[in-house]
Amino acid sequence: METTSKQLIDRARAGGLAIPAFNIPYLPMMQPVIQAIVDADAVAFIESARLEWYKFEAKGPGPIATEFKKYAGANHVRLHLDHVPVVDEDDIYVDYLPIIQEAIALGFDSVMVDASRLSLEENIAATSLAVQIAHAAGVPCEAELGAVLGHESGPLPPYEELYTSGKGFTDIDEAARFSTETGCDWLSVAIGNIHGAVSGAQRDAKKVEARLNLDHLEKLSRATDLPLVLHGGTGIRKEYLREAMKRGIAKINVGTEIRQAYESAFREAGTVVAAQEAVYHRTFDYLSNDIEVAGKRSILTNERINA
């Protein structure tokens, strides 16, 4: 029997590991990312967020699912619906539930609702609706609490100011309430991590090297008793990533660095093939060196136990 997304995340958390989730803003990135995962003998999520359908060239959940099925191997990859916002990065309300329903119908293995721009009560209410739909289909649902900044238009405040002040950090008491009342399976938290910029001149800029408040993370893990998710995995130093995995982070989203590898190689060489090669190498390196999950597939899929 195929290991489910929920089982993979649960095993990662129990083993002090994290499953990387790679965003695909350009469809030609799909094949080299999956190939790198297979060649590294790792397990990872392939994911697509709503903003990538409009601000990049991913085209939508249908094209993503079709491209995924061309290359997917059951022992290595699962398909995840990333950020479906209730209020998006441009402060526009989104009819989010039909998007989640469409993704489930297309075969996505897990979904995410992001109501983090709403009040706590509104976030709980919106997330609960998405969780009900996902669970009725046997699909786990990720949610977000706190402000993982970076996707909004305009420049961010200086990073040091954000980190020192704790602005947007996920509140521990709110997280405990949120996890209980929504029934979500995984929770994206803000502990110093930020998203890579997706608009304007910052889109091509090197991402800030973020730090993580590991003590705050540990408190969140205890308060929620959920697998926690780290969005904005690009630019965080390896020692923070590895320690975060020991303290409750079971999924790490990676977008900016493989996107920029693709875009940079395409600009320089002018060919999709060169861009795909760059993505392959960066993905393989991330799996092998940044979070050291190469060769861990059989542990996460339970194959050694079942053998």
On average, the pLDDT of the chain sits at 91
Q: Are 283 and 36 in contact (CB under 8 A)?
A: yes
Q: Quick one: pLDDT at residue 199?
A: 46
Q: What is the pLDDT of residues 149-178, one digit of tens each?
A: 655 555 666 767 777 777 789 999 999 999
For the segment 2-31, what is each residue's pLDDT rounded down to a tens digit? 899 999 999 999 999 999 999 999 999 999
82 is a catalytic site residue: yes
| Residue 206: C-alpha distances to residues 75, 176, 203, 245, 256 (Å) | 33, 35, 9, 24, 9
Question: For the segment 53-67, what is each residue's pLDDT rounded down to a tens digit?
Answer: 999 999 999 999 999
Domains of the chain with bracketed CATH: 5-306 (3.20.20.70)
193 CA to centre of own chain:
12
Q: Tell me, what amino acid is at 71?
A: Y
Full-model pTM? 0.91
Q: Tens digits of per-residue pLDDT, 248-275?
A: 999 999 999 999 999 999 999 999 999 9
Active-site entry in 10, 39, 82, 114: 82
Rounded mean pLDDT, 124-129: 98
